Amino acid sequence: MKQKEQLEGIRAEAEAALHSIETLEELDNVRVKFLGKKGDLTAVLKTMGSLSPEERPVVGQLANKIRGEITENIEKKAMELKAAQQEARLLAETIDVTLPGSPVEIGHEHPLSLVLDEVKEIFMGMGFEIAQGPEVEWDYYNFEALNIPKDHPARDTQDTFYITDNMLLRTQTSGTQIRVMEEKKPPIRMIAPGRVYRSDAVDATHSPLFHQIEGMAIDEGITMGDLVGTLETFAKKLYGSDTRIRLRPHHFPFTEPSCEIDVSCFKCGGKGCSMCKNEGWIEILGAGMIHPQVLHNGGIDPEKYSGFAFGLGLERLVMFAYEMDDMRMLYENDMRFLEQF
Ligand code: PHE
């Protein structure tokens, strides 16, 4: 039976071939040569027709056995070659950990955060806690509970972005007054910094997004004197001990009486300069004694308790602190500007 010899020959040849190859490509050539459709093994099987019925299964079995062996050896070799390749790559790609790294640029706080932190420090030093309210707010907290019903003219200056008829982007942090009243019992001393929104066009002094810091104190016997003392202390801490404040009568629907508060110009000391537009004074906040109805809306008895509230514009503070004349610089993320702080 020459087929038997041929098959044994193929087995030996394949073994030798596998022994000497070095790449996966060569391995594939070996597979095609011995096991492929036009390969050596198939060629032998095609001659089976000349065999006797007794011989056929014997040769068939041997052919299958050899096919199995060669296949197994090819797989083994493939694994070996892949492992060797991987090994070589790992060696070639070794990282030199002694090389100096590329420098990591460390950022720093934004001027808005720097000034906010300073303001927080000052009020925390006076026993105020930090509170927070949501930026997406109910009409109720932003307006209604602050004595600004739907048709109140004060809404004209605080047009905003509405989510629904009753839900909006808050126009002021004053809604946190009510939220804190609902949660705490007097004595209360809190400041609530955060983003507020108004549908204003962008210019040097306006932005549809800006920041306020709300402040509030409620207890038995709180008077306008406490308001003045607290904000004077704040102004002196922020701008220096020579700083004076002055109150101008104003109107807010949720405070009574209400005022706006100016600080003496920290650049010229009050003589008049370009910073204060020759006024000697710079307006920094709105304030007043919390309206009894507002206390009532917050669940606090106005017969027993009184309180003051104030609202600071953070951007204004920052712009004065760093003598900036364009608010847009605070939002543009221009590194040439931000790197200066
Ligand atoms: N919320 C007012 C504003 O945005 C400021 C303010 C706060 C006035 C608290 C009085 C008391 O103009």
Counting ligand 1 atoms within 8 A of each CB, the residue from 172, 177, 179, 191 with the most, and so the one to mutate, is 172
Q: Identify any residues that bridge with 290 across adjacent strands, giving them in sequence order.
A: 255
Q: Supply the mean pLDDT for the chain.
A: 92
Residue with tokens 């030798």: 16
Q: What is the pLDDT of residues 220-269, one digit of tens each?
A: 999 999 999 999 999 999 999 999 999 999 999 999 999 999 999 988 88
Instruction: Decide: 197 in ligand 1 pocket, CB within 6 A.
Output: no
Instruction: Decide: 255 in ligand 1 pocket, CB within 6 A.
Output: yes
Residue nearest to atom 7 of ligand 1 (CA): 311
Counting ligand 1 atoms within 8 A of each CB, the residue from 147, 169, 173, 212 with the most, and so the one to mutate, is 212
Q: Burial, 22: exposed, middle or buried (Cβ in 10 Å; 0-12, 13-18, 19+)?
A: exposed
- C-alpha span between 189 and 194 (Å, rounded): 17
- Has residue 95 got a pLDDT over 90? no
Helix (H) or strand (E) holding 173: none
pLDDT score for 1: 66
CA of 287 to the centre of ligand 1 (A): 6
Backbone angles phi, psi at 164, to 5 degrees: -135, -175
Q: What are the CA-CA distances from residue 239 to residues 31, 96, 103, 151, 267 (Å)?
A: 86, 53, 37, 40, 10
Instruction: Decide: 286 in ligand 1 pocket, CB within 6 A.
Output: yes
Backbone angles phi, psi at 193, to 5 degrees: -85, 155
What is the C-alpha end-to-end distance of the chain, expressed in Å? 95
**What b/e string do you get for 166-193 counting C-beta neighbours within 10 Å, with b at 16 or more?**
eebbbbbbbbbbbbbbeebebebbbbbb
pLDDT score for 170: 98
Q: Is the pTM of this model over 0.75?
A: no
Residue nearest to atom 12 of ligand 1 (CA): 286
* Closest ligand 1 atom to Cα of 212: 4
CA of 13 to the centre of ligand 1 (A): 95
pLDDT score for 220: 98
- C-alpha span between 309 and 189 (Å, rounded): 10
- C-alpha span between 289 and 306 (Å, rounded): 8
Q: What is the pLDDT of residues 51-71, one digit of tens each?
A: 888 888 888 888 889 889 889
CA of 174 to the centre of ligand 1 (A): 6
Instruction: Decide: 215 in ligand 1 pocket, CB within 6 A.
Output: no
Backbone angles phi, psi at 306, to 5 degrees: -140, 165
- C-alpha span between 10 and 44 (Å, rounded): 10
Token couple for 93: 């790609």
Q: What is the pLDDT of residues 267-308, one digit of tens each?
A: 888 899 988 889 999 999 999 999 999 999 999 999 999 999
Contacts of 85 (CB under 8 A, 6+ apart): 24
- C-alpha span between 188 and 129 (Å, rounded): 8
Confidence of residue 142 (pLDDT cuts 50, 70, 90): very high
* Closest ligand 1 atom to Cα of 285: 5
- C-alpha span between 63 and 265 (Å, rounded): 103
DSSP, res 200: P
